[in-house]
Amino acid sequence: MKIIGAVLIVLSLVVAIAPMFTDCQSQGKAIVLENGKTVPMKCHWSGVAELMVAVPLFVLGIMFLVNNNRMVFRNLSILGMILGIIIILIPTNLIGVCANPEMICSSVMRPILILCGILVVVASSVGLWLSFKKQDQPV
């Protein structure tokens, strides 16, 4: 379970840091309004939302490291699966990224976040499976 905690911590850092360098605003691109002001594209807001999901995922990884109770591992694993699904949904369905496939957010950020979300779901599923396996032995 300690390995799963470490994996979740690393994935949370990737989810938090990757959008900072792979959204259109980090590349100097923004939407220019008629009055001359610029506003960030929706990929920027996806990155902000991913940061808000990465924080509880980081805490979840720490809780995996310091906990020894199987019932808590089950609950943490279910929460991890939910957070992984949210990580996948933000750049795909909830907020999205820019429609142009040549933009860095569409070609780099979205695949990274989808992969991280899948890995979070898989790691949490393994944690859930391990919490049901061998009930009498400590984790």
Interval 1-58: pLDDT, tens: 899 999 999 999 999 999 999 988 888 888 889 998 989 999 999 999 999 999 999 9
Q: Please choose, from the candidates 24, 44, 9, 31, the residue with its C-alpha nearest in 3D space to the C-alpha of residue 104.
A: 24
**Per-residue model confidence (pLDDT) at position 30:** 87
To the nearest whole percent, how much of the chain has pLDDT over 90? 75
Stretch 59-67: mean pLDDT, rounded? 95
**Per-residue model confidence (pLDDT) at position 95:** 94
Q: Are 61 and 124 in contact (CB under 8 A)?
A: no
Instruction: Please tell me the pTM assigned to this model.
Output: 0.90
Stretch 89-107: mean pLDDT, rounded? 93
Neighbours of 68 (CB within 10 A): 9
| pLDDT higher than threshold 80 for residue 135 | no
To the nearest whole percent, how much of the chain has pLDDT over 70? 96
Q: How far apart are CA 110 and CA 88, in angstroms?
A: 9
| pLDDT higher than threshold 70 for residue 69 | yes
